[in-house]
Structure 1
Amino acid sequence: VTISSDGQLVASGSVDRTVRLWDATTGEVRATLQGHSNAVESVAISADGQLVASGSQDGTVRLWDAATGAVRATHQGHSHAVESVAVSADGRLVASGSSDGTVKLWNLATRAAEATLLIGTVVRNLSFSILGQYLIADMESFDIRSLTTLVHVRSNSLQRLLISNNWIAEEDEDILWLPPEYRPTRVAIANGVIALGFLSGIISILEFKPGEKTIQ
């Protein structure tokens, strides 16, 4: 599950092989995107809200037009399930992490894989830094300004909101305890909004205000 940068659109992937787009305000389904041949493991929305990326157990990455639901491109190259996807802020690159132990960077203009990172383990969370110079893979970061020389950099200085030991936490500070019925299988965070996805198919949306340490 993921949220658009303006907080208006939620995208979710499902074991029923579909991607659904939801109105974050009304909770209504805007569109159901079909095309994957296996469960959808991950979704991402571009910064301008026009593109949705999805990764599936079928090993492919699909790019969708958020307005029409049409498929823009299908990327193949992973040998196993695609567990995570992310779109760079400038809309130039899509990253995909797979259970084959690699992360691939796809150029949206050429539709080709520009680089492959050998991680050696499953990457379940991917994101680009705001300026696009770093790719964050789980708790590690990589300098991608030169795609021919990908340099690993330390990420312990990157502040983040996360789910840890059944708490919503900001770095080392626990903010909100999650009771058993509110423990998600997928989490997305954007602009202080947290989306929690559950196996039941339900999505809960919370507004986080760091300065006030409150959640609505």
Structure 2
Amino acid sequence: IPPFVLDAAPKRGPTSVKERKTRAGGGGIKMAVPLRIQSDWAQALRKDEGEAWLSCHPPGKPTLYGSLTCQGIGLDGIPEVTASEGFIVNEINKKSIHISCPKENASSKFLAPYTTFSRIHTKSITCLDISSGGGLGVSSSTDGSMKIWQASNGELRRVLEGHVFDVNCCRFFPSGLVVLSGGMDAQLKIWSAEDASCVVTFKGHKGGILDTAIVDRGKNVVSGSRDGTARLWDCGRSACLGVIADCGSSINGVAVGTADNSINLGSPEQMPSEREVGTESKMLLLAREDKKLQCLGLQSRQPVFLFIGSDAFNCCSFLSGFLLLAGTQDGNIYQLDVRSPRFSSVNCLIVLIIPGITLKVQVIHRSGAPVMSLLSFRDGFIASQGDGSCFIVQQDLDYVIELTGADCDPVYKVATWEKQIYTCCRDGLVRRYQLSDL
């Protein structure tokens, strides 16, 4: 039985926007009106009569331009700032400023970095992660290095050497003591964060590894590669447990999540290996270069859906057991709801073929810049894009939180620990932001 295929790409002829919404089961397109601010606004507004530019970008309308001016510094060290016509300063402190553009019903809280680490790498930083305890960071760079550092101050702790060519992705295992990495050398490696030793190397891919996911506590891991395959690995025996998908197109992003009870993941055709741990009830999401977002049962290897987007998918993430996020090269963020209201004992794949009963789709489009990373965060998500923007969307907030500092350089990856958010950027900097209570 073929998976439900939904084509969200713009077409001419009878497939209108209205028809596509119907096929997608409702949802629709949500357009967030973005506000932009000068990247170094916090420094610029620290001095008398200092200025910083502002802009509002309503879709399909001319851009509104404005400015902020510092009228003086208060006794508490917080600048007194006024906005030009059309913009309002709602609130300001040393590291944040909340701006509105009432005409376009746009509102954003801009956050400056709490601290910036400039000495970890010498070139563009392509990936980073923070350990479960919040004490350590790991990052990889186009300078050819992968390093472990103190998350509080950026102080170097370990250098992980062993990959040939660049390291594309790195992440901590849930223990916070072990690191998983994937490189252009088609190798997947596991490292000790304590002594920097490489304890396991997985070989089998025929192209560079672009992303990884850890299953449960980490006895199994998943990798996605330029060779078009997603593989499941046994960490204990450093062996491949199977090719989960072979799609003939580069897999740019992978995510593993626990499926909602209403989603039928199908049954495996063969008895799963006893070395598979925690794969049952898990969905595997693949962001593909050929504009397809693929979802399948991790243990069953059976398809759940295949979604066709507007451009290459760069990244994907789970918000919950039924809400999925995926970002494309042309700046679209798709939110998909895969619950089936008419779920019964009938095979879910058959149910999915019936039009309009599942896969509700919402699209957020703020700019045409590539969506580089997506991360579930509290009651929403954090997204970063190729134009330097990085923003937090929360269900119960009527404004967007913008993480500033990157000046048009792509923000490649975001990691969080409690109220701290870390980003890595093409400018070679790791930025740490401190969130107050949302």
| Same topology, TM > 0.5 | yes
After the TM superposition, which residues 177-196 of structure 1 pair with which residues of structure 2 at under 5 Å, given as runs? Answer: 178=404, 180-181=406-407, 183-192=409-418, 193-196=420-423
Q: CA deviation at 1:104?
A: 1.3
The 2-side partners of 1:188 and 1:112 are apart by: 30
More displaced stretch, 179-188 vs 82-91: 179-188
Contact persistence 2:403–2:433 (CA under 8 A): no
Greater shift, 114-123 or 50-59, is seen at 114-123
| Shift in CA distance, 106/25, structure 1 to aligned 2, threshold 3 Å | same
Query: Is 2:427 the counterpart of 1:200?
Result: yes
Could you tell me how far 1:87 is from its partner in structure 2? 2.1
Determine the structure 1 residue equivalent to 2:297: 143
Partners of 1:61 and 1:43 lie apart in 2 by 10
Partner of 2:393: 170
Aligned partner of 1:118 in structure 2 is: 246
Q: Partner letter of residue 204 of structure 1?
A: R
The Cα shift of 1:64 comes to: 0.4
Give the 3-state SS of the residue equivalent to 1:160 in structure 2.
strand
Deviations 1:35-77 (A, max 9, x none): 1110111101101112101111111111101111101111111
The aligned runs of 1:5-44 (5 Å cut-off) are 5-44=132-171
Report the secondary structure of 2:407's partner residue.
helix
Identity of aligned residues (%): 22
TM value normalised by structure 1? 0.82
Distance 1:206 1:125 in 2: 25
Do the aligned partners of 1:50 and 1:67 also contact (CA within 8 Å) in 2?
Answer: yes
- Structure 2 SS opposite 1:104: strand
Aligned ranges 1:63-142 → 2 under 5 Å = 63-116=190-243, 117-129=245-257, 133-138=282-287, 141-142=295-296
Cα pair 2:384 2:412 within 8 Å, conserved: no
Given that residues 18 and 35 in structure 1 are in contact (C-alpha distance below 8 angstroms), is that contact kept between their aligned partners in structure 2?
no
Number of corresponding residues? 209
Which of 1 and 2 has higher RCO (CA within 8 Å, sep 6+)? 2
Instruction: Supply the distance in 2 between the matched residues of 1:105 and 1:77 (Cα, whole angstroms).
Output: 11
1:83-126 residue CA offsets vs partner (Å, 9 max, x unmatched): 11222231111211111222211111221111222244333333
TM-score by length of 2: 0.43
Does the aligned pair in 2 maintain the 1:5–1:48 contact within 8 Å?
A: yes
Shift of 1:185: 4.1
Distance in 2 (alpha carbons) for counterparts of 1:191 and 1:152: 32
* CA drift at 1:7: 2.0
Query: Structure 1 residues 168 and 141, CA, compared in 2 at 3 Å: closer, same or farther?
Result: farther
- In the TM superposition, residue 8 of structure 1 has moved relative to its aligned partner by 1.8
Q: Is the 8 A contact 1:185 1:199 kept in 2?
A: yes
The letter for the 2-side match of 1:168 is F
Q: Which has the higher strand share?
A: 1
Structure 1 runs not aligned, ≥5 long: none
My pick for the range that moved more, 124-133 or 47-56, is: 124-133
Amino acid at match of 2:391: I
Once the two structures are overlaid, the 10-residue window that deviates more, 35-44 or 188-197, is 188-197
Match of 1:152 in 2: 304
What runs of 5+ residues in structure 2 fail to find an aligned partner? Answer: 1-127, 259-277, 288-292, 306-321, 325-335, 338-375
Sort the Cα spacing of 1:9 and 1:182 in 2 relative to 1 into closer, same or farther, 3 A. farther
RMSD (CA atoms) = 2.8
Question: Does structure 2 retain, via aligned residues, the 8 Å contact 1:167–1:174?
Answer: no
Secondary structure of the 1:181 match is coil
1:50 is aligned to 2:277: no
Q: Say whether the 8 Å CA contact 1:160–1:171 is kept in structure 2.
A: yes
Q: Give yes or no for contact 1:31–1:69 (8 Å, CA) kept in 2.
A: yes
